[in-house]
A = this chain, B = another copy of it.
């Protein structure tokens, strides 16, 4: 299947008819509300869809009490959207009829397409062609549909809406998997978090996950987007949608599965989508402030708290506990989540100690269970923590004690009073109570988590969004250097690659190409000090393997001897290679070794990679990716995200390294990668030496693999 490209994508606003139609038809409507063609009708009659519903069924006069129509043609007008619940074989002609009638969107439940092999894939391609030609947006096939609780449009046969209709709420779910989308929806509802819109994209013949997210970003009722994907068809469109979400300060919580080897294999066999490198998604999500989750609970926890719309932009966590040990546990969790747990100021500690002589008052503040004998103490403590501690979020562990019926009401009152002057700060509770009492706390604005470490993680998730949303404007990617050369469609020798990249702003050590021993000696003298001699040939990519590198050569005679030895060794090891000469290069100063690369991701195009040099990093796969192009601020964060980033600070007596120079290099490489996207397969700068602070960075070697043919 050919993936749709961004160029011919209809604008996401065309999804309005799909997600928020004013009139609808059900093709293959069933009178039996338990059958696939009957369920949406039943659901909508209950939820009260705000517009005409036209069942299409040639065999019956009425369907579930509504007048039925014999065909699409016979409909009284063009419906905004249609539900297609017919066998796979007649889906294309049905869609053609709908398009001819003037329908703007269709939801295709039917399975038996790309998931069934080549024939199905062809039928699916036909659906896409019909959609584009007829100007009708098609959801599916093989999908669980869409619902919009805001207008009662329930175009799904999911049993998750059976017990009660979805209620309008701030969360929207966009999921490739119908089963997982409705699983998340059902669990969110069980927590009292309402999902106003769910869109499941199934086989994505036309509408894909990027469309769905893009639409939801612009949808005013949606304040939190939960997304689920196995693989993305159009990376550019997803990137654009996430960029729009970031600009709109709308939180996106994303589960992308297929992280592991076995998971990726399962995903490849399951979906027709290209896999690409999962690690690239980490980079994409970091760039656009998306929260990636690996488990359903992380997803639910984050959606639950994000739905409150409170995103403090700091990282200061205040901890209240009635158990010293759980305070410790929450502090552990805070460090795991990258939050700070700063001490209360000394004067506030003194004040607290007077109020609560039994308490530990640093932070975590252990008010002990005794504070529950006089709840005003809990309020006074909270006031002090917000006012003097300045915490962005306070998490309190009150366990079963706050679960008592007699406690909940008064405690809520006291907490709310204490928080009144700090509406931008959040408070989260960890307690155990009946569902009714939990609801009481939730309704009053206090998200409840039974697990105190999950409460801390939830705090971290909103603060992470808050810091991202509050980020000041960042430097744009560097400009393309004037006259920077394009990458040719042929393999370049190292000296050609370094010259080209130098023009794009990549610093290399001083070097010269020498055709003869005389030229080599002259080059060495001009460069000065000890030099490296390397064979120059586009035919030789791994120079050390043919003895094509000699390091630490100094003095006229030594250079000439090394030159002769090099040509001799390469002559025997690679007699067929065309040689351009020998590169004479300066020895690079000491520094921290890094590797920088560019790869062409099948989904997202050019991505830039950075890692530390050395064998262990290879073993630990400690590398970071970002989609090109990006600015220097993003590059700094990219470097900081490496597990081994501390090496740049200077360990074992080494001076701090020039991280700023490395960040600049990465940003310039990203501009090169983006500008030359169509011409580059990959680029390797390995190693790149990061010199002591203020002294810059130099690449020692370069390899460009161009797109050829």
Contact = CB atoms under 8 A, between A and B. Distances in A.
30 contacts: A111-B358, A116-B358, A159-B400, A176-B325, A177-B325, A178-B323, A179-B321, A179-B397, A180-B326, A180-B399, A186-B399, A186-B432, A187-B450, A228-B325, A257-B328, A259-B332, A259-B335, A261-B335, A263-B328, A263-B332, A264-B328, A266-B327, A266-B331, A267-B328, A270-B324, A295-B333, A295-B453, A616-B616, A616-B617, A619-B644
A176 to B, nearest CB: 6
A615 interface: yes
A58 B384 CA distance: 44
A114 to B, nearest CB: 12
A331 B180 contact: no
A430 B81 CA distance: 34
Which of A183, A257, A432, A652 neighbours the largest number of chain B CB atoms within 10 Å of its CB?
A: A183
A159 B620 contact: no
A500 to B, nearest CB: 28
B331 A260 contact: yes
Nearest to A404: B159
Which of A261, A336, A397, A615 neighbours the largest number of chain B CB atoms within 10 Å of its CB?
A: A615
A328 B266 contact: yes
B620 A329 contact: no
Interface string A631-670: 0000000000001101100011000000000000000000
A257 B643 contact: no
A539 B615 CA distance: 36
Contacts of A327: 266, 270
Interface stretch (A213-221, A360-368, A487-495): A360-368
A482 B646 CA distance: 46
Contacts of A264: 328
Given A179-B399, A259-B335, A265-B331, 16 more contacts: A179-B323, A179-B397, A183-B400, A186-B400, A257-B325, A258-B328, A260-B334, A262-B331, A263-B331, A263-B332, A270-B328, A295-B451, A297-B297, A614-B614, A615-B647, A618-B651
Given A262-B335, A331-B260, A620-B643, A230 B324 contact: yes
6 shortest interchain CB distances as A-B pairs: A179-B323, A260-B335, A177-B325, A270-B324, A263-B332, A296-B451
Contact of A400 (B158, B261, B262, B331): B158
Contact of A182 (B260, B267, B400): B400
A454 interface: yes
A369 B23 CA distance: 30
A387 interface: no
A179 B616 CA distance: 43
Contact of A620 (B258, B295, B620): B620
Nearest to A457: B295
Interface string A165-188: 000000000001111101100110
A271 interface: yes
A612 interface: yes
A183 B255 CA distance: 30
A489 B220 CA distance: 76
Nearest to A654: B615
A2 interface: no
Contacts of A450: 187, 296
B255 A329 contact: yes
A652 B615 contact: yes
Contacts of A646: 619
Contacts of A187: 432, 450
Interface string A19-33: 000000000000000
A190 interface: yes
A143 to B, nearest CB: 12
Contacts of A617: 616
A64 interface: no
Interface string A140-176: 0000000000000000001110000000000000001
Interface string A35-47: 0000000000000
Interface in A217-233: 228, 230
Contacts of A323: 177-180, 183
A454 B297 contact: yes
Interface string A245-259: 000000000010111
A269 interface: yes
Contacts of A228: 325
A401 interface: yes
A294 interface: yes
Which of A294, A329, A614, A646 neighbours the largest number of chain B CB atoms within 10 Å of its CB?
A: A329
Interface in A596-633: 612, 614-620, 622
A322 interface: yes
A123 to B, nearest CB: 16
A329 B299 CA distance: 13
A389 interface: no
Interface string A391-427: 0000001011100100000000000000000000000
Contact of A324 (B177, B321, B404): B177
Nearest to A645: B619
Which of A261, A294, A328, A453 neighbours the largest number of chain B CB atoms within 10 Å of its CB?
A: A328
A179 B401 CA distance: 9
A618 to B, nearest CB: 6
B326 A177 contact: yes
A369 B404 CA distance: 42
Contact of A362 (B259, B269, B321, B620): B269
Contact of A180 (B182, B271, B325): B325
A553 interface: no
A341 interface: yes
A270 B324 CA distance: 6
A314 interface: no
A181 to B, nearest CB: 9
A452 interface: yes
B332 A257 contact: yes
Nearest to A456: B295
Contacts of A326: 177, 179-180, 183, 257
Contacts of A297: 297, 451, 453-454
A514 B418 CA distance: 76
A454 B295 contact: yes
Contacts of A267: 324-325, 328
Contact of A332 (B182, B260, B332, B652): B260
